[in-house]
Every structure is written in structure tokens, then in C-alpha cells.
């Protein structure tokens, strides 16, 4: 792969300093200018849709419809939401009324953090770069964008288009691999947002910690599905197989493994076979509806996992490393200690893990890191409640997979090893702003209310001091307190 479009390492500190200097000029204090730049992000994409479709076909072998679904729609939603609401989001808020302090006019004002570094992945290279950019602009920040070097066609497009559509002083693209990214991370930023894997996230977190830089990390994970055998099996099979094979499984919210009763496994396998044939009637390898793996190295990694499994391959299982192809694959009778269960596969391989009951399913889920999403298929609300109330994840989704990120008002974000912080909409604006508190206390207040704080301290002032503290809620009864302790033990 050519690296001629990479940013020279020696230019990176100059870019960083230039962006910081222009940010300090206050250019983005204007809400109208923010709205103008947000709109320009939308037209950067709209005017060049076909070029991005072609680039992702080259980089990922991705069908156009998947690019429109995963990358374009989400960006347009964020553009529209931020453009329409940024004036409201940035308005100061009054603090909760308190009789002791209301005359001081206490307020909270969202203010920008400063200069943001956004590091995007290869699998949704447009949305995962432009989404944070929109949120950061809405918050009044300058941004340096680092596209993934593993999607070079898209990275080159961003390097060309960002300076054409956006303020060239406030928004820059840095392209490159490990040396360039290492140099970028040596510099102080006011916020870093990264989407990718846990290994790289630890490197980024360590670099950020040196400057006490806050981070947003979206790290995916091994997302489980719990199936009630009384569910609509055809619907579950169709949605789950789609979620596992779209973008060739390279989706952070994709379902990875299905926990289902052993007696129901063959029924579900047959439903998956039927869906597979309807998706790819002439086979997936020559289908224009199936993507490719991003690199030969990733392809070889997935192939090795399939080769080492102790489960039974139901269909698929073949891979062509040179063509970056891994067939849609279902493996049944997978045990929790199988090589395929070790970490996130990030490929089109769906695992069926038989369990004796839902309690065993929950034990398996809770024995692993918290995933980005947990899915459950059932028409029984008690079943869904049991799954979701006894697990932890970024999202808890019933009878659907993947698409929660596209629902306006629902952010994407993980917990624990699946990351922290939020993507999309108002929640992303909040990531890139801090609440600056303010109050303005008139001088006369000291004469009638707050003069007690000044020395010399006298006993008669204590009553006024105590008046600042509210009364406590009723004390819990000793009997009730003892009962609660006993139930926990």
C-alpha cells in the first residue's frame, strides 16, 4: 500500500500549534459560524457520495447500500440534529432553585474543551470520523482528524475534501500509520475520541494520561444474543444473520455468539440455512451484496480461528486470504472455552453456544468483559427483563441487532472494556463540552444573609450557618435495615 499521502511527521507539531492558535482566536464562539460549518460537513458528504461509495468499494469491497446505510444516513441525521439544535444546546441553564442562592443567579454554561483529536476506524470510516467532527463543531471546538490508514481510499478523500469544505485553519486531516499516530499522541490535546480495539485504546489512554486529556473510547466487544425458544425463529435468524454478515461482520455492534437451549439448536440452524440461501442464492463469494475483510492479515487471523475451533461448521468456513474473503460462517456446538470465544472476531462468523437454560447463558455473559450490546429475542417481557436486568452492556436491545446507533436520541457507548463516553447527537455535543459554572453575588447579600461567613466567628452565627443545610430524609428503621443486609448475604 502506498504511503505517499501520509502527513510528514515533522509537519504534525506545526499543524497542532496552528489549530490551537486559531482556536484561541475565538472564531467558533459564533453559533452561526458553527451552524455554517456543520452544514458544510453535510455537503462535503452529499456532493461526493459516489466518490465515497467507490472508495469504500475499493477499501472494503463494500456494497453501495451498506455504505449508504452505515455511513451516510447516520451522518445526515447528526448534521440535521446539530444544525437545528446547537443554539439551544449552548444556552446557559439556570441552576436548580435554592432559596439561599437564587439571588446570585447561578448558571451552567456549556463551553468547548478546545482542540479535539478524532481517530477513526476502517469499518465505518465516514460516520466514525464525521460524527465526532459534527459534535465537536457544535461544541465550539477545533478538530484534527486522523482517518484509518487501513481505508486509504477514504483517507485520501478526507485529505482532499476537508480543506475545500471546512475552515482550513480550524479543521485539519493528518494521515499516516504507526509513526505518524505516535507523534500525534505525544502532543497535548483537550479531548481525544477513538474508535477501535482495546489494545490500541490502552496505548491512547496511556498517552492521554500524560497530559490529563479526557477521552471517549468506543471499543466494541463480543456481543451476545440470548434466544428464547418460543421466539419468532425466522425473524430472529434473519436479523441475526444480517447483523453478523453486513460489512462482513466488521461492525462493533454486530452479534458474535448466540446462547440458546441445546434442544433448540437444530431448529435455529435450519432457520439460519434458509436465510443464508435467501441472502446469497448464488453463493456469497461472487455476490454483490457481501463485503470483504479489510486486510489480508485480518483475513488470515479469522481463518486461523475457524481452523482451530472444536465446534461444527454448519455452513461457510472457507476463506481466501489473497482476496480478503471469509465466507459467512455458522459454527454450532461451540463451548465457552473454544478459540472462537477468546476475543472479538470482527468477521462474518456466527457462533452457536448451547446452554441448558437462561441462567447458564447469563453466567457465560457475566464471565466476560462487558460488551457494547446484549441482544435478546423473545416475545416474553419477563424473559427479556431477566436477561437485561442481570447483565451489563452499553446497549440492551430486544428483537433487533445493530441498528440502535441509527435511532435519533439513542447514543452509542460502552461500559468497562467496551469503552466509555457517547457517540451521536446531543450526547456527543456533551462529550466535547464542559459545564462552566457561574454566579454573580450582589454586595448587599452579605448584609442580610452571608455575613456570617466572615471572622470573627461567634456562636450566634451558627444558626445562620446551619440554615444552609437541608434536613435529612427519614432515618431507615433498624428492622428494615437489618432485613436488607440479610437479603444481600
Instruction: Return the active site residues.
Output: 218, 252
**CA–CA separation, 346 vs 124, rounded Å?**
13
Report which of 480, 353, 434 is spatially closest to residue 108, judged by C-alpha positions.
434
Cα 196 from chain centre: 9
Question: Are 247 and 280 in contact, with CB atoms under 8 Å apart?
Answer: no
Task: Count how many residues are written for the chain.
Answer: 489
The cell for 384 is 427479556
Cα three-residue angle 184-190-193, rounded to 5 degrees: 65
> How far is it, in rounded angstroms, from Cα 384 to Cα 378?
7
Q: Are 255 and 217 in contact (CB under 8 A)?
A: no
CA atoms within 13 A on the CB side of 299: 18
Q: Which stretch of DSSP H or E encloses residue 246?
A: none
Task: Provide the 8-state DSSP code for 345.
Answer: -
Q: Compute the distance between CA of residue 266 and CA of residue 179 in angstroms, rounded to an integer.
A: 50
Which CA distances in Å does 10 have to 13, 145, 179, 350? 7, 17, 11, 45
Amino acid at each position: 500500500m502506498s504511503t505517499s499521502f501520509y502527513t510528514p511527521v515533522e509537519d504534525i507539531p506545526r499543524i497542532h500549534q496552528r489549530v490551537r492558535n486559531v482556536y484561541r482566536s475565538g472564531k467558533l464562539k459564533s453559533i452561526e459560524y458553527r451552524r455554517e460549518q456543520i452544514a458544510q460537513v453535510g455537503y462535503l458528504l452529499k456532493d461526493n457520495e459516489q466518490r465515497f461509495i467507490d472508495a469504500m468499494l475499493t477499501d472494503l469491497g463494500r456494497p453501495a447500500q451498506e455504505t449508504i446505510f452505515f455511513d451516510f444516513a447516520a451522518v445526515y441525521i447528526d448534521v440535521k440534529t446539530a444544525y437545528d439544535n446547537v443554539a439551544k444546546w449552548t444556552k446557559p441553564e439556570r441552576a436548580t432553585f435554592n432559596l439561599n442562592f437564587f439571588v446570585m443567579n447561578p448558571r451552567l454554561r456549556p463551553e468547548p474543551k478546545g482542540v479535539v483529536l478524532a481517530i477513526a476506524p476502517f469499518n465505518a470510516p465516514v460516520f466514525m470520523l464525521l460524527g465526532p467532527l459534527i459534535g465537536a463543531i457544535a461544541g465550539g471546538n477545533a478538530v484534527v482528524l486522523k482517518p484509518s490508514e487501513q481505508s486509504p481510499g477514504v483517507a485520501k478523500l478526507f485529505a482532499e475534501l476537508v480543506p475545500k469544505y471546512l475552515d482550513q485553519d480550524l479543521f485539519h486531516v493528518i494521515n499516516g500509520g504507526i509513526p505518524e499516530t505516535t507523534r500525534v499522541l505525544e502532543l497535548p490535546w483537550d479531548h481525544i475520541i477513538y474508535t477501535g480495539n482495546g489494545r490500541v485504546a490502552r496505548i491512547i489512554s496511556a498517552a492521554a494520561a500524560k497530559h490529563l486529556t479526557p477521552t471517549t473510547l468506543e471499543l466494541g466487544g463480543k456481543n451476545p444474543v440470548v434466544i428464547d425458544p418460543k421466539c419468532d425463529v425466522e425473524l430472529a435468524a434473519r436479523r441475526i444473520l444480517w447483523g453478523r454478515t453486513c460489512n462482513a461482520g466488521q461492525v462493533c455492534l454486530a452479534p458474535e455468539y448466540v446462547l440458546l437451549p441445546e434442544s433448540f439448536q437444530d431448529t435455529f440452524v435450519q432457520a439460519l440455512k434458509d436465510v443464508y440461501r435467501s441472502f446469497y442464492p448464488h453463493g456469497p463469494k461472487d455476490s454483490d451484496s457481501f463485503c470483504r475483510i479489510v486486510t489480508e492479515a485480518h483475513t488470515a487471523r479469522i481463518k486461523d480461528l475457524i481452523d482451530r475451533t472444536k465446534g461444527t461448521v454448519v455452513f461457510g468456513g472457507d476463506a481466501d486470504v489473497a482476496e480478503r474473503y471469509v465466507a459467512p460462517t455458522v459454527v454450532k456446538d461451540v463451548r465457552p472455552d473454544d478459540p472462537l470465544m477468546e476475543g472479538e472476531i470482527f468477521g462474518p462468523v456466527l457462533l452457536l453456544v448451547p446452554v441448558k437454560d437462561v441462567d447458564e447463558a447469563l453466567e457465560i455473559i457475566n464471565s466476560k468483559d462487558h460488551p457494547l450490546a446484549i441482544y435478546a429475542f423473545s416475545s416474553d417481557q419477563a424473559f427479556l427483563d431477566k436477561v437485561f436486568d442481570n447483565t451489563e452492556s452499553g446497549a440492551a436491545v430486544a428483537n433487533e441487532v445493530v441498528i440502535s446507533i441509527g435511532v435519533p436520541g439513542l447514543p452509542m457507548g460502552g461500559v468497562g472494556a467496551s469503552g466509555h463516553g457517547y457517540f451521536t447527537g446531543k450526547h456527543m455535543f456533551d462529550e466535547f463540552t464542559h459545564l462552566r459554572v457561574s454566579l454573580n453575588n450582589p454586595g448587599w447579600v452579605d448584609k442580610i444573609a452571608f455575613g456570617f461567613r466572615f471572622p470573627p466567628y461567634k456562636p450566634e452565627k451558627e444558626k445562620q450557618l446551619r440554615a444552609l443545610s437541608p434536613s435529612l430524609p427519614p432515618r431507615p428503621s433498624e428492622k428494615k435495615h437489618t432485613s436488607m443486609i440479610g437479603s444481600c448475604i
